[in-house]
């Protein structure tokens, strides 16, 4: 049973992520229709999370680079 789950986890994860994406898309459109200022704030929050992730990835990339010997 564990082998079956580990082999097919990608299919289950794809279905779950598709459902989450559809739900998020619908909810954002409902919010945009009824509360446009809230959606604007949500977009700012998403942009802040993405920028923080990029900054974190850049710092980790710099840390993993080999040190130069002079």
> How much is the pLDDT for 69?
67
> How much is the pLDDT for 64?
87
Which position has the higher pLDDT, 60 or 68? Answer: 60
Q: Are 56 and 48 in contact (CB under 8 A)?
A: no
Number of folded domains that form the chain: 1
Q: Per the domain annotation, does 69 fall within a domain?
A: no
Q: What is the pLDDT of residues 3-12, one digit of tens each?
A: 777 778 888 8
Q: Per the domain annotation, does 70 fall within a domain?
A: no
Domain that holds residue 9: 2-64
CA distances from 15 to 10, 12, 50, 52 (A): 9, 5, 24, 28
Q: Which residues have C-beta within 8 Å of that of residue 31, sequence separation ≥ 6?
A: 38, 39, 42
Which position has the higher pLDDT, 15 or 4? Answer: 15
Q: What is the pLDDT of residues 23-64, one digit of tens each?
A: 988 988 888 888 888 888 888 999 999 999 999 999 988 888
Q: Per the domain annotation, does 50 fall within a domain?
A: yes
């Amino acid at each position: 049973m564990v082998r079956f789950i580990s082999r097919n986890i990608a299919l289950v994860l794809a279905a779950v992520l598709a459902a989450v994406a559809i739900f998020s898309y619908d909810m954002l459109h409902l919010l945009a229709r009824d509360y446009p200022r809230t959606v604007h704030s949500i977009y700012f929050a998403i942009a802040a999370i993405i920028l923080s992730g990029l900054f974190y990835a850049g710092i980790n990339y710099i840390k993993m680079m080999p040190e130069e010997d002079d």
